Amino acid sequence: MKFTKMHGLGNDFIMVNAFEEGIENLEGLAKDICDRRFGVGGDGLVLILPSESDENDFRMRIFNPDGSEPEMCGNAIRCFAKYIYDREMTDKMKVRIETLAGVIIPELILEDGEFKAVRVDMGQPRLRSKDIPFAGVEQQQVVGETLEVDGEEYSITLVSMGNPHCVIFVDDADGFPVREVGPKIENHPLFPEKTNVEFIEVLNSKELEMRVWERGAGVTLACGTGACASAVAAILNELSHRKVTVHLLGGDLTIEWSEDNDHLYMTGPAEEVFGGEFRIKN
């Protein structure tokens, strides 16, 4: 099976053109190919698929290293957009991509004809507890609520970008024990579909420092949907402006929550690393 390795701020993916490759047992393949010692290594397996609707252009599926299938991934969809543009699979600068989180619209940004970044219309954030989903309360929004984990209390704000996010504001993002606390919150019984967890230090009204524990992947260098959810959470808690720079271990993303259409926009890079062939296990 031919593949291409790409990354968005160090959040790395194995891209496979499913227009050309026939693939079975996706859960098992994701576990094998994402393994960093016995496979290619990556935070996810991404499939480039034909759209199931005449209204849209492509379809994306993504599988975590543990074989689970998340609804969306912000860094992966930027890589997706660059992949199809570089291979002339489309001549559009703005494409409609079907995901389990709905239709997402990335737009390529070029400078002097050269690829610079991808600006993605991530749609509207979903804030009702049942849309996260969260079993703890029945209220419309979960902003600054208390969650108890192993005797510790955390103030949480919940946002769905088509996938669930639990945002926690901390004094020191670098020093926070993400690997210890992250999996406990991911698997907390009040999150019936588990959750991604973001630990956010507010540097000022225009800058956030973020560390993330991703559902099904663990600690990663960046999470696009997590950056979006964190910006929304900061705004809901009156800690930031509607346009912020989110600093992640792998680099920066610009997130803007538009006042006129309530949509969230994410701008950031995507890079191709190498390509090759992977021998699928029988």
Per DSSP, helices labelled H in the chain are 26-34, 74-86, 178-186, 224-236
Q: What is the DSSP letter of 129?
A: G
Active-site pick, 34, 166, 223, 228:
223
Peptide bond into 133 cis (omega under 30): yes
Please report, as a single letter, which amino acid is at residue 219. V
Which residue among the candidates 34, 73, 79, 228 is catalytic per the annotation? Answer: 73
Concerning whether 73 is annotated as a catalytic residue, the answer is: yes
Could you tell me which of 141, 62, 45, 157 has the C-alpha nearest to residue 101?
Answer: 62
Relative to beta strand 114-121, strand 164-169 is unpaired
DSSP structure class, residue 83: H
76 Ramachandran zone, left/alpha/beta (phi>0; psi -120 to 50): alpha
- Is-catalytic flag, 79? no
One-letter amino acid for residue 81 of the chain: A
Active site members: 73, 223
